[in-house]
Homo-oligomer: A and B are copies of this chain.
């Protein structure tokens, strides 16, 4: 009677075409022990005689046994996988973030499931649901997401870390770049050098980083007693081309600015290109600065003054936070971190020669 499942067709026959992967049962049979013992050895759970232990290890290796992770995660309810949700995968920025995340995850034996190219909320919500059950935790980086659509599309207890999101809900762990502070000190640097007409090339209005940087710029001007004039703020979208166009617009003004603050390095590069074509020299005629400190910034001519952000560190910190949340089963005090930035003065703002 104990053989209550023995009536169907016998699946043990070797009729499969290719080699099937060895299962824990194969290893057990080969070693002349039960699957329980093998499992105990492989997971270091429970006591096993030393000799048996060695023998099983040896056999498992020889048979190239690797546990079936689907089965494993079915019983343990863990997947050893971290999900990463990204808005769009352009440029060097995201590649750095992923690198930071992946490295940290790997160190702790986790895998990284990436999902990118989400521009509207519907897409994000879809991916959020698709991640369900596939991951033990989530790093979400999305300007367009609010707390409501987040919580309503996520399993209750799934740990989440928000990266550069606008959700100011204190019940989520989050990490943000100090965009405001960075933009503030860069603008301050410019005013201290005597610039009173400082143009700003903005990022997309939808983008939180962009808005925060603009805010820092305005506040710094105000604090320096410089009027904030709308005409000096030109739209951009973080792409090189938009920086080019924006610079052209600024040059066309009656009172052309003496300095241009591009909200990121890519746009600064576009701007410099436009200035050069217009016969305006940098930094003599117009100073140009950026934000991010992408690797090539220092090799531009003139070398670009900018605000440094440690992007891969951003990913690393987020991952550590997430792993911690997982370990504590999400039953912990959530916290909001802000990653500092650093002013990098090179030649393009005209100060390095001083």
Q: Does A336 contact B (CB under 8 A)?
A: no
Asked if residues A113 and B112 are in contact (CB atoms below 8 Å), the reply is yes
Spot the interface stretch: A159-167, A185-193, A293-301: A293-301
Given A66-B129, A133-B68, A133-B69, A240 and B89 touching (CB < 8 A)? Answer: no
In whole angstroms, how far apart are the Cα atoms of A301 and B134 in the complex? 47
| Residues of chain B within 8 A of A261, CB atoms compared | none
Picked from B71, B81, B102, B266, the residue with its CB within 8 Å of the CB of A296 is B266
Asked if residues A18 and B156 are in contact (CB atoms below 8 Å), the reply is yes
| Residues of chain B within 8 A of A301, CB atoms compared | 272-273, 276, 301
Picked from B69, B98, B273, B276, the residue with its CB within 8 Å of the CB of A89 is B98
Q: Which residue from chain B places its CB closest to the CB of A88 in the assembled complex?
A: B99
Asked if residues B111 and A112 are in contact (CB atoms below 8 Å), the reply is no
In whole angstroms, how far apart are the Cα atoms of A100 and B113 in the complex? 15
Kindly supply a per-residue 1/0 record for chain A positions 291-322, scoring 1 wherever the CB is within 8 Å of any chain B CB and 0 otherwise. Answer: 00001101111010000000000000000000
List residues of A (1-52) whose CB comes within 8 Å of B's CBs: 1, 4-5, 18-19, 21
Q: Does A70 contact B (CB under 8 A)?
A: yes
Q: Which residue from chain B places its CB closest to the CB of A75 in the assembled complex?
A: B70
Q: Closest CB-CB distance, A48 to chain B, in whole Å?
A: 24
Picked from B66, B98, B102, the residue with its CB within 8 Å of the CB of A133 is B66
In whole angstroms, how far apart are the Cα atoms of A89 and B69 in the complex? 26
In whole angstroms, how far apart are the Cα atoms of A106 and B301 in the complex? 41
Q: Which residue from chain B places its CB closest to the CB of A301 in the assembled complex?
A: B276
Q: Which residue from chain B places its CB closest to the CB of A71 in the assembled complex?
A: B74
Asked if residues A299 and B240 are in contact (CB atoms below 8 Å), the reply is yes
Q: Does A117 contact B (CB under 8 A)?
A: yes
In whole angstroms, how far apart are the Cα atoms of A8 and B91 in the complex? 56
In whole angstroms, how far apart are the Cα atoms of A67 and B4 in the complex? 28
Q: Which residue from chain B places its CB closest to the CB of A69 in the assembled complex?
A: B133
Q: Does A229 contact B (CB under 8 A)?
A: no
Q: Which residue from chain B places its CB closest to the CB of A131 in the assembled complex?
A: B111
Q: Does A172 contact B (CB under 8 A)?
A: no
Picked from B106, B114, B132, B240, the residue with its CB within 8 Å of the CB of A98 is B114
Q: Closest CB-CB distance, A244 to chain B, in whole Å?
A: 7
Q: Closest CB-CB distance, A25 to chain B, in whole Å?
A: 15
Given A4-B4, A68-B74, A296-B269, A99 and B90 touching (CB < 8 A)? Answer: yes
Q: Does A258 contact B (CB under 8 A)?
A: no
Q: Which residue from chain B places its CB closest to the CB of A72 in the assembled complex?
A: B70
Q: Does A171 contact B (CB under 8 A)?
A: no
| Residues of chain B within 8 A of A81, CB atoms compared | 113, 134
| Residues of chain B within 8 A of A68, CB atoms compared | 74, 133
| Residues of chain B within 8 A of A102, CB atoms compared | 89, 114-117
Asked if residues A296 and B132 are in contact (CB atoms below 8 Å), the reply is no
Name 14 A/B residue pairs within 8 A (Cβ), A-sorted: A4-B4, A67-B133, A70-B70, A92-B92, A103-B116, A103-B117, A111-B115, A111-B134, A112-B113, A114-B114, A266-B295, A273-B299, A273-B300, A273-B303
- Known A-B contacts: A1-B1, A68-B133. Give 19 more (CB < 8 A): A4-B4, A66-B132, A68-B74, A69-B132, A70-B71, A74-B74, A81-B134, A94-B95, A98-B98, A103-B116, A106-B115, A111-B130, A111-B134, A113-B114, A266-B295, A266-B296, A269-B300, A276-B301, A300-B300
